[in-house]
Each structure stands twice: as structure tokens, then as C-alpha cells.
Amino acid sequence: MVEILISLLLAATLALGAAPQRAADAVATFDAAWQIVNETHFDSDFNGVDWVALRNELRPRAESAQSADELREVIDEMLGRLGQSHFRLWPGGAAATMSLPAQGNEGREAREGWDSRGVDRSGGVGFGVVFLEGRFLVRHVDENGPAAEAGVEPGWVVLTPLAAELSGEIRGSSGELGEVAARARAGDAVVADLDGSPGSDVEVAFLDSSDDLVKLAIERRRPTGGQLMKFGNLPPLRVHMDSRRITGDDGETFGLIQFNIWLPLLAASFDQAIEDLRDVDGMIIDLRGNRGGLGAMVMGTAGHFLDEPVTLGTMQMRDNELRYVTNPRRVNAAGERVEPFSGPLAILVDGSTASTSEVFAGGLQAVGRARIFGQTTMGAVLPSLLDRLPNGDVLQHAIADFVTADGRELEGYGVIPDRGVVLTREDLVDGHDATLAAAIAWMKKESARR
Amino acid sequence: MSRFGLTARAGMKQPALAGVLVFLIAVVGGGVGVHAAESAQQAAAAEDLPDVTAIIAHYIEAVGGEELLRSLTSSHATGSFSIASQGLDGTLEVFAAAPNKLLVLTTIAGMGESVTGFSGEIGWSMDPTMGPRLLQGKELDQIRDQADFYSDLYDPATFSVMEVLGIEDFGGANCYAVRFVRLSGLEAVEFFEVGNGLIRGMKNTQESIMGSIAVTTFLSEYREFGGPLVPTMIVQEFGMGQTAEISLVTVEYNSVPDATFDLPTEISVLVGG
């Protein structure tokens, strides 16, 4: 049934994308997008952008837009000038059909099943990438996915034209604020560039682990696995949560929980995972690749690890402030009295950890409850709304800044791990998770010390 | 405070909206609105204004009279709501009983069920994002005020301030703006239509665990369900261009079992320390 609905939505997208853009609609949509940001941006200086002048500059282009796609380019440019995260336009039909990768926590940001021109791009190749050592490397391969079946392995170098082009751009912008986010988004683009119609093949060239050239035909497929969830104007998202127990060399046990997005319907699963792992010597929350979700979830989730209400950080809007306050979880779903987990807590992050995940990690780091392992996060943390525009597209727009309890801004800077772990191609090839290993090593020491 | 009056409260109590708002804060970061106390700047000359007692008496008469209101001991309302701009919708159910019990259930697509209650002593909440918790501080004050089943009678003993600010247009109608401050310190400006005496809406501050949000509420489409008049359309604006629209579908009176307000097991455990 879900697939039928999605197909209908896809058809709607096709119609939307193919239809000529009426000038009146285009202007109304452009004006609405401009006005929403004008009224809700948390910074009355618009991050240094002359917002009125920008409208005057771009509005004529919106008036003359000949297609929905042209109009989107104009609005995208307007949003892009702000230079901040969470300003984005989701094509209307696509907003209802976008999906996350089927497997793996190193997933890309939600990508469109169809592009704005109505081309079916819902088939993916089943791997994710990371920018490392100046190139895009295969970060993970979805288990049983098309790339896995074709023989693609982690650590291989992706040799597509777009990968080469973006690698050059990234190398040229090294050291700039927002570089981590730029790398992650470039990685998204490299993978999305391979998407296409399900069942079709795409030939991709790689350098394998021996640096030999390999060309593989990968059959594109729709993502599978996980649970498809829909929430408000967010597109349907494929949600994964896994938890397991890790036993150390000396018999210690550690809990590992990983999930790819923060949605309310996952909360019960997280609560259950905590319940199942309550007796472990240490807990690891793996947020690598987790791009965020519903911000309020950090309050109940962090409450599993804090025995008192604690402010993790503050949303600072133009005229108001709201705090993320934790709720100590002193009762479980069975109605039994419990205590929040008080053992060592490690949070794993990387360059594609973003938004709500950064609020959670940065917030718990700021109050001294968690130790962060991995690589600096994306620095894309602004709380946002998703408003539907007159033409059916969805405007995502930030309405607040976020500052941790110890006064740190995360936007642009990200969460800097307490224990940085350098990701290497060798580790990818060998399947060695150095970040997880570092966290376990720390927990062994902590549990022994306690 | 920010009540809909007993008639309104009999069908659609503010806590239902509070639940929605808390949820929205969670989602969207909340909002900012016009501060209630600032809204009556267009007040007419004070000497032209009726006494607050007269305004309240007119209102009580308009919705059905004091005798009818006092004949009610409980209510159960059902309805739906939407925040169209965010693509969110859901259903709600509100149970209330004299003297001060309240239970509000909201179900939001993609989120699940949230419940907020006041047992007469304990204010509590359970939702998927936060888990079970006891309300404290301003949140507790607010739900305690909202649970006052007969608050539409505007018992002066429950207020520290009741003052007529003036006449202004609110929701397209000429209204008396009346400022109320509860003994808890929570306040609101309510707007009573000059012609028919009905409440057209209010401006107040909604409390949540994350902080306060200024809210403007518009009430319309009054109708009766075998009791007093009830506004069946409630529209709330809470800044950031966000509007929640609540539609009341059914209201029943004097049929809510006392056990409805029993604390859930999870909350009882929290109360037990």
C-alpha cells in the first residue's frame, strides 16, 4: 500500500516538474519563501546579507522563470547566500518521496527519489562515501545491496567525474569554516549522482585496495530494510535502529546503540534498548552518519543518562529563547522504578553527524556527561521549520541558533571530539573501526577505575 | 489561565493546546507572539467601559447561564487539529471533571500519543519525545489553573487582578479586552465580544518545559452539545507564522468515570519517589 501511495506521489512530482511555471505562481512562491525567512530568521541581520536587496536582485529572475526548476534555482540561490545550514528547498513531490540509504549509519542526507525534472532517481547503488586523503572513498557498503553484490568494498577510491571535480573544489577550500559540512554534502552529491531508475545499470570506476582500476556495472535498486516513517512535511524516511552487547577481553560488557535519524516513533525502540542494556559497564551511542531529526527527542533520550533535569543548550530565536531540558528517566515502559544509566557514556561521531545529533552530542559533552569520539561533526545545527510554499515545494528554514550549556556555538564549527580519531583508508579496507575501538578502550579504563 | 470559559472548557480545554504546543516547540522551535499585556493599547477611554463583573455576567448569560454551568460535573470532548504549514495533523480527546481534574490525549501522525493530566494534585505528562514526567513550576501552575472546572464563572477569589483594559477589534469583532491574573501569577488578556458577550479569544503565554511561548487564540463557531455554548473552532497563532487549527466534533457531559483521572502506573511510580 505504501508503495502504491509513493508511486502516486512520484507521478505528482513528475507532473510538477514537467509543468511550465506560471509567472504569477513563481512570484508568489518566491515572495512567500523570502517573506518566511524575513519574518523568522533568528538573526535580524540575516548573517550579514542585505535581505531586502537580495529580494530586489532575484525577484526579476523569479518572474521570468520558465519552469519550476528555474524557479527553484533562484530560491536556492537566495537561501544559499545566507551561508547557513537548514535553509533548503525541497521540491514538492520529491519532499514526499525522498529516502535515506537502506543500510549503514554513514548515510547521506535525505535524497530525492525523483529529481526536480521528473526523472526517476529512486534507484541507488548501495554505498556511501567519505572524503579522505584528498579523494572520495567508499565509506560503507550496504549489506546485500547492489554495490555489495557487484563486489565494491570499503576503502576503494571513487573515480566518477563528479567525484574528481568536487575533490578539487574541496582541496581548494581546506581550512574554511563549514568545511566539514561541505565535504559531507559533496559526498552526498557524489553518491546521488549515481542514482537513477531502479533496475538500470550504472558503470562506476574505482581504484581498489591495491590501487588497481576496477570498472563495475552496478544495478540500481530502491532502498530496502528499516522502517519507512513519515512525520509532518519531512519526506518519508527509512529508519534504522540497532542495539547490541559487546563483550570486552576481560569480561566487561558494553552496550552499543546506533540509529540513523531522530524520529518520535523510534523513541520506544531506544527506550527498550536502554532497558535491555541497563546492566552493561558502559554505553556507546553511535551517531556517525546520523543527520538529525526531531530536536525535542534529545531531552527524553539524554534523560536516560542524567539523574537530574539538565539544560543541554539553548535555542536562540529573534525574540525568544527555549531550552533543551532533559527529563530524568526514572521509570521504564513496564512501570518499574529505574535509575538513569550512570556508567561511562561514549558518543561516536563523524563528519556526517549533524543537527539533532550534534545537539545531543555537544549538549552532553558540555555538561560533562559524555565523552565524544571520532571526527568533528558537520556543524549544521540550526533548528528549523519546514513550511509548504504556494507551489507545493517545502521550504526548510532555520529559526534559531543553538548554543550549548557552556556557551559554544556549534553552527559551522561542529562538535569537536574529546578524543579525535583519524579515519584512514587502511582502516576502511581492513574493516577496522578505530573510533569504536577507542571508545571501548576508554570504557574499559573507566569501568576498571570505578 | 487563558481559559475558554467553562463552556469552552467543557469541550476544549487549553491543556489540549498546550500538548500540541509543547510538541510543536519540540519540532519547530516554538514561537514568539505579541505579549498579552501589550495588546490593549488601543483601549477606549476607561470611563466608557463597563465593570468587569458586568462583562463576565454577560458572558455567563450568553453561554447558557450560571445554573446550567453549575449543573455540569464532567465533560468529554473529541476533535481534531492540524498545523497545516508543517503538514501535521491529529486527533484529541479532553476529559474534565469538577472540581479540578483534567486529562488530555493527543495523537499525532508520525509521533504517537501524548497525554497530559491533572489529578487534582499531581500534574503530569507522557509523550514519545520526553517520556513520563511530573509537571513542575509554571507548567504545574498552568495546568492547575486550567483544570479548574468552574473557572468560567470567574470566581474573584481565584484572581489577583481582573481589569478591563479597553475595547479593541479582535478576530473581526469589537471586544472588551479584560486582563486576568490568576493567584498563581499566570495571566491572560481575554476578549469578550461587545455585542453578544461571548469570548472571541485571548492572548497569553503558554508554558512548556522548554520555556514560554506567547500565544494568540481565536474562538469561533459556537454551538451547543446538550449543554452551554461551546466554540468549536479554535485557532492558535504562536509566532514564526505557525497556526494550529482545532476543530471540536463532540462534547458529552456528566458521563466521565472518576477512574479516567487515575494516575498511570508510570506516573504513580514517579510520584512515589
Could you report the per-residue pLDDT of A28-82, keeping only the tens digit for each? 999 999 999 999 999 989 999 999 999 999 999 999 998 888 999 999 999 999 9
> Residue A23 domain-assigned?
no
Q: Do B110 and A299 touch (CB under 8 A)?
A: no
Q: Among B26, B210, B268, whose Cβ lies nearest the Cβ of A323?
A: B210
- Spans of all domains in chain B: 5-271
> What confidence category does residue A118 fall into, taking pLDDT thresholds of 50, 70 and 90?
low
Do A214 and A303 belong to one domain? Answer: no
Q: Do B242 and A320 touch (CB under 8 A)?
A: no
Question: What is the overall mean pLDDT for chain A?
Answer: 87
Q: Do B29 and A267 touch (CB under 8 A)?
A: no
Burial-class residue B158 by CB neighbours within 10 Å (0-12, 13-18, 19+): middle
Q: Do A387 and B112 touch (CB under 8 A)?
A: no
pLDDT above 60 for A356: yes
Query: Structurally, how many domains does chain A consist of?
Result: 2
Q: Do B209 and A327 touch (CB under 8 A)?
A: yes
Q: A244: domain CATH number?
A: 3.90.226.10
Do A205 and A319 belong to one domain? Answer: no
Q: What is the pLDDT of residue A23?
A: 65
> pLDDT means per 10 residues in chain B (273 residues)?
38 39 36 33 61 97 97 97 90 96 94 95 95 96 95 95 97 97 95 97 93 94 96 90 92 97 97 84
Q: Among A303, A322, A327, whose Cβ lies nearest the Cβ of B30?
A: A322
- Of A187, A219, A251, the domain-final residue: A219
Do A291 and A344 belong to one domain? Answer: yes
Q: Do B265 and A318 touch (CB under 8 A)?
A: no
Q: A202: domain CATH number?
A: 2.30.42.10
Q: Do B128 and A233 touch (CB under 8 A)?
A: no
Report the chain B residue with the minimal C-alpha distance to residue A335: B266
Q: What is the pLDDT of residue A273?
A: 97
CA of residue A429 relative to chain centroid, distance: 24
Smallest Cα distance from A129 to chain B, Å: 30
Measured between beta carbons, the chain A residues lying within 8 angstroms of B86 are: 232-233, 385-387
Q: What is the pLDDT of residue A177?
A: 66
> Residue A355 domain-assigned?
yes
Half-sphere exposure of B26 (CA within 13 A, CB side): 28
Report the chain A residue with the minimal C-alpha distance to residue B269: A337
> Residue A209 domain-assigned?
yes
DSSP helix/strand/coil, B76: strand
Q: And the C-alpha cell for A138?
A: 567508499
> Residue A392 domain-assigned?
no
User: What span, in angstroms and rounded, lies between the C-alpha atoms of A386 and A378?
Assistant: 20
> Residue A25 domain-assigned?
no
Smallest Cα distance from B81 to chain A, Å: 13
Smallest Cα distance from A161 to chain B, Å: 38
Q: Do A300 and B131 touch (CB under 8 A)?
A: yes
pLDDT: which is higher, A90 or B113: B113
Smallest Cα distance from A279 to chain B, Å: 21
Measured between beta carbons, the chain A residues lying within 8 angstroms of B129 are: 264, 267, 294, 296-297, 299-300
In tens, the pLDDT along A220-255 reads: 998 888 888 888 888 788 899 999 999 988 889 999
Residue B194 DSSP class: T
Do A191 and A280 belong to one domain? Answer: no
Measured between beta carbons, the chain A residues lying within 8 angstroms of B130 are: 296, 299-300, 303, 327
Do A180 and A291 belong to one domain? Answer: no
Q: What is the pLDDT of residue A117?
A: 53
Q: Among B32, B112, B269, whose Cβ lies nearest the Cβ of A331?
A: B269
Smallest Cα distance from A420 to chain B, Å: 30
User: What mean pLDDT is predicted for residues A173-183?
Assistant: 76
Smallest Cα distance from A263 to chain B, Å: 8
Measured between beta carbons, the chain A residues lying within 8 angstroms of B208 are: 322
Report the chain B residue with the minimal C-alpha distance to residue A389: B85
Residues 6+ apart with CB under 8 A from B205: B35, B36, B186, B187, B212, B213, B214, B215
> Residue A29 domain-assigned?
no
| C-alpha distances out from residue A298 to A167, A327, B50, Å | 34, 10, 50
Contacts 24+ apart (CB under 8 A), A114-119: A114/A10, A114/A13, A114/A14, A114/A17, A115/A17, A115/A91, A116/A17, A116/A68, A116/A69, A116/A72, A116/A91, A117/A17, A117/A18, A117/A69, A118/A13, A118/A14, A118/A15, A118/A16, A118/A17, A118/A18, A119/A196, A119/A197
Measured between beta carbons, the chain B residues lying within 8 angstroms of A387 are: 85-86, 241
Do A157 and A186 belong to one domain? Answer: yes
Q: Among A264, A295, A399, whose Cβ lies nearest the Cβ of B110?
A: A264
Report the chain B residue with the minimal C-alpha distance to residue A384: B28
Rounded (5°) CA angle A191-A195-A197 = 170
User: What span, in angstroms and rounded, lies between the C-alpha atoms of A413 and A377?
Assistant: 8
Half-sphere exposure of B203 (CA within 13 A, CB side): 19
Burial-class residue A209 by CB neighbours within 10 Å (0-12, 13-18, 19+): middle
Smallest Cα distance from A399 to chain B, Å: 7
Do A308 and A193 belong to one domain? Answer: no
Do A269 and A407 belong to one domain? Answer: yes
Do A308 and A352 belong to one domain? Answer: yes
Q: What is the pLDDT of residue A10?
A: 27
Q: Among A39, A386, A400, whose Cβ lies nearest the Cβ of B86?
A: A386
pLDDT above 70 for A162: yes
- Cell 563486489 belongs to residue: A151
Q: Among B30, B265, B270, whose Cβ lies nearest the Cβ of A330?
A: B270
Do A198 and A258 belong to one domain? Answer: no
Its domain, for residue A147, covers 123-219
Half-sphere exposure of A206 (CA within 13 A, CB side): 24
Q: Do B31 and A320 touch (CB under 8 A)?
A: yes
What class has domain B5-271? mainly beta
Do A325 and A290 belong to one domain? Answer: yes
Q: What is the pLDDT of residue A181?
A: 86
Other CB atoms within 10 A of residue A47 CB: 15
Q: Do A317 and B32 touch (CB under 8 A)?
A: yes
Percent pLDDT > 70 in chain A is 88
Measured between beta carbons, the chain B residues lying within 8 angstroms of A317 are: 29-32, 240
Classify the complex by whether its ipTM is higher than 0.90, answering yes or no. Answer: no
Q: What is the pLDDT of residue A231?
A: 85
Do A249 and A349 belong to one domain? Answer: yes
Smallest Cα distance from B27 to chain A, Å: 6
Q: Do A296 and B109 touch (CB under 8 A)?
A: no
Q: What is the pLDDT of residue B199?
A: 97
Query: Per CB distance under 8 Å, which residues of B are interface residues toward A?
Result: 23, 25-32, 83-88, 109-112, 128-133, 208-214, 239-242, 264-266, 268-270, 272
Q: Do B111 and A296 touch (CB under 8 A)?
A: no
Measured between beta carbons, the chain A residues lying within 8 angstroms of B270 are: 330-331
Other CB atoms within 10 A of residue A376 CB: 18
Q: Among A267, A317, A386, whose Cβ lies nearest the Cβ of B128?
A: A267
* Out of A368-372, A417-421, B107-111, least confident range: B107-111
Measured between beta carbons, the chain A residues lying within 8 angstroms of B209 are: 299, 325, 327
Q: What is the pLDDT of residue B273?
A: 66
